Amino acid sequence: MLATALGCEVDTSDLSKCDPLRAFATGRCSFAQPQFCKLVDGFASLTRVTRSQRRAGGNGVYGRRQFVWGGLGSAELAYRKRNVLGFSTDFAEDLTGTSWGIELTWQEGLRWANNNSFDGLSGVDTFNLTISGERPTFFRRLNQHRTFFLSAQLFVSYVAGYERGMTADGPWTFLLLASANTGYFQDRLLLTANVVWDFRSHSGAFLPEAQWRFTDATSITFGAGAFTGGWTRRLRGVSDFSANDDDVLTDFTYVENGLSPARDLDNVYVKLRYAF
């Protein structure tokens, strides 16, 4: 009320200032709607609103509003040692003419971001499985004299201890990488295409490339990168460090997982190489 009164002027046309003769007017700065007042808005810019849950300081409907300095605390930046136990194997399958590789790793006690935790972190164990397969294959209609080398890798991850408040995707994630390449004119022209797709975040990339070798020392390469992805909604943090600006009054925040951070980096490129 004091901040509203300090900005009052008689017969003012400025809607961000209070008019004493219309002290309870609506649609402008007044004691009925102080949010329109310039001075009140200045104070509000120094505040943040927490999540509406009571454990975050809210009342179940609205979050607690407080000044920025009222929510200060301490933060620690630490690089912790990670213990990794893994197994791998490779083998050839004669019936289909393919080669396979399998890798399995386990990491214990990793610290993951968790917006439901007051310190912002939770301990999890991750199990990662990688399955790769490759095969040279003839497609006579596309290339009569050279095989297409086809390869694919599937990355599967499971997070033990995953919680709803974590910002990363889980507990299961699947990432597929597929590629194909072939050559023409005694491999003077090399064509390559790579596709990446993250099933959980619905993000991916398409990376084609073509290289022409003039001589053993000179070549030119044309390529492109097309990316896709988007935002994923997550619960806001219960700690004061996670409180957003005053413009965001919901209990949600948005993160970019998978390849989504690169979705605006579509590009084409040309590389001229000379070796000496």
pTM of the predicted model, to two decimals?
0.80
**Which sequence spans correspond to the domains of the chain?**
75-274
Residue 150 near residue 177 (C-beta atoms within 8 A): no
pLDDT by residue (tens digit) across 187-221?
A: 999 999 999 999 999 999 999 999 999 998 999 99
Instruction: Please give the pLDDT value at position 189.
Output: 96
Sign of CA dihedral 237, 245, 41, 74: positive
Cα–Cα–Cα angle for 210, 215, 217, rounded to 5 degrees? 95
Output the tens digit of pLDDT for each of the chain's 276 residues. 888 888 788 877 888 888 888 889 888 899 999 988 988 888 888 888 888 888 888 888 888 888 877 777 777 788 888 899 999 999 999 988 999 999 999 999 999 989 888 888 899 999 999 999 999 999 999 998 899 999 999 999 999 999 988 999 999 999 999 999 999 999 999 999 999 999 999 999 999 999 999 998 999 999 999 999 999 998 888 876 665 555 566 788 889 999 999 999 999 999 999 999
Average pLDDT, the chain: 90
- The pLDDT of residue 9: 82
Which tokens hold the place of 90? 């490779």
Say how far residue 17 (Cα) sits from the centre of its chain: 42
